[in-house]
């Protein structure tokens, strides 16, 4: 668990600091905000699109080789990004390399390993602790990126971050899961293929609703990660306010994620998810209605931090509760694909609306509406193991 939490912090940190790099990169390379937004949107999309395949590979061959390969590609993307002055090169390194690298080396692969290595009664809390570790990475890397960029430049900073990500390789040895574990209960079909498991999952209304709701989480996180820093500066505040507000998101999400994992062991997870999405919409509404100030930005960082990744423990706990652990990494990966489609649209739509309308007002309004949608769509989820025909005739 300690090694898994370190992986989560190391891989989540540099990606969560991407908004800090936007203004220096645009100034240094002369790229447009649209090019930057598209590269980060592509990163989010490929991170999500690669996740089911990375999860299926981890289910079949074990977690360690997937984490090691993903970590190497992630580090390579960070290092090469420093010299990617052309739009196509920047989209290849910041978008394709980092996106695909994160699909193989990120929080979700670690959660998949925990789903196999830990007993069911410990899993929700472990998911919460691992998610909190990712948040600690955000808390650490956002102000660290700001300080390093100010002193040694953004290009050297990305190289340093790439070297740090390589620590995933030795850490992956400690979370190595056995390939294709045998079915341990009636929940897990012994010879079911990954594709058959996915088809089966998509035939279950509760899984579909869960996946739809997770779309909003990705939209919120990616939009705020990439565009929040610029929104703060354009509101007349200093960049340092944005750095530290985003760091507050990370530190307060440690509390939010652990609390969410603890609650997921004690009450229906669908109610937890619905409450989180509703609270997000309320927090955004208050933030955009109040006059911008250092106090309101910090309060938003604290409040949204409590809700930031707190959707992850109940979402993953529902998946493993319904379908078991055998194909958990792949099924959780597919739900994360929906999350990252939301992220892709959030980054791209945020950048487009800013350029088209001169402000982020419409993007904030879409964020509020999506939060209300997911608050409703999670309520009908049924939290019980899926009944299979073999069980019905037994």
- In the chain, % of residues over pLDDT 90: 32
Chain segment 346-366, per-residue pLDDT in tens: 888 888 888 888 888 899 999
Q: How confident is the model at residue 391 (pLDDT cuts 50, 70, 90)?
A: very low
Half-sphere exposure of 88 (CA within 13 A, CB side): 0
Alpha carbons 264 and 270: distance in angstroms, whole number:
9
Residue 45 pLDDT more than 90? no
Alpha carbons 11 and 105: distance in angstroms, whole number:
7
If you average pLDDT over residues 357-384, what whole number do you get?
92
For 2-178+193-387, give the CATH class.
mainly alpha
Q: Where are the domains of the chain?
A: 2-178+193-387
Residue 187 pLDDT more than 70? no
DSSP state at residue 178: P
Chain segment 303-313, per-residue pLDDT in tens: 998 998 889 88
Q: How confident is the model at residue 393 (pLDDT cuts 50, 70, 90)?
A: very low
Chain segment 107-134, per-residue pLDDT in tens: 778 887 887 788 877 777 787 788 788 8
Report the phi/psi class of residue 236: left, alpha or beta, with left for phi > 0 and alpha for psi in -120 to 50: left
Show Cβ contacts of residue 85 under 8 Å, excluding neighbours closer than 6 positions: 28, 29
Mean of all residue pLDDT scores within the chain: 85
pLDDT at position 179: 67
Q: How confident is the model at residue 368 (pLDDT cuts 50, 70, 90)?
A: very high
């Amino acid at each position: 668990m300690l090694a898994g939490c370190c992986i989560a912090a190391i891989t989540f940190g540099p990606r969560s600091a991407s908004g800090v790099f936007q203004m220096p990169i645009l100034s240094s390379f002369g790229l447009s905000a649209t090019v930057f937004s598209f590269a980060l949107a592509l990163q989010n999309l490929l991170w999500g699109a690669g996740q089911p395949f990375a999860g299926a590979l981890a289910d079949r061959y074990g977690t360690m080789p997937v984490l090691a390969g993903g970590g190497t590609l992630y580090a390579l993307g960070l290092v090469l990004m420093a010299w990617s002055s052309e739009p196509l090169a920047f989209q290849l390194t910041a978008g394709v390399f980092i996106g695909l690298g994160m699909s193989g080396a990120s929080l979700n692969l670690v959660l998949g390993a925990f789903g196999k290595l830990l007993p069911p009664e410990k899993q929700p809390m472990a998911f919460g602790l691992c998610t909190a570790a990712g948040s600690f990475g955000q808390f650490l890397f956002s102000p660290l990126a700001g300080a390093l960029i100010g002193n040694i430049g953004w290009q050297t900073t990305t190289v340093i971050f790439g070297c740090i990500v390589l620590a995933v390789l030795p850490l992956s040895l400690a979370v190595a899961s056995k390939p294709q574990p045998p079915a341990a209960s009636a929940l897990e079909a012994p010879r079911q293929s990954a594709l058959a498991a996915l088809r089966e999952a998509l035939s279950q209304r509760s899984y579909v609703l869960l996946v739809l709701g997770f779309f909003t989480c990705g939209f919120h996180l990616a939009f705020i990660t990439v565009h929040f820093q610029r929104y703060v500066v354009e509101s007349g505040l200093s960049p340092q306010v944005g750095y530290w507000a985003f760091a507050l998101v990370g530190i307060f999400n440690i509390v939010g994620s652990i609390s969410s994992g603890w609650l997921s062991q004690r009450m229906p997870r669908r109610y937890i998810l619905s409450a989180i999405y509703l609270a997000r919409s309320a927090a955004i509404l208050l933030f955009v209605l109040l006059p911008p100030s250092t106090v309101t930005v910090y309060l938003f960082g604290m409040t949204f931090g409590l809700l930031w990744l707190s959707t992850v423990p109940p979402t993953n706990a529902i998946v493993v509760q319904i379908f078991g652990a055998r194909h958990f990494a792949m099924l959780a990966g597919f739900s994360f694909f929906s999350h990252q489609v939301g992220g892709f649209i959030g980054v791209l739509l945020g950048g487009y609306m800013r350029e088209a309308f001169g402000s982020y007002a419409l993007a904030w309004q879409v964020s509020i509406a999506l939060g209300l949608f997911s608050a409703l769509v999670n309520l009908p989820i049924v939290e019980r193991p899926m009944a299979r025909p073999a069980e019905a005739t037994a």
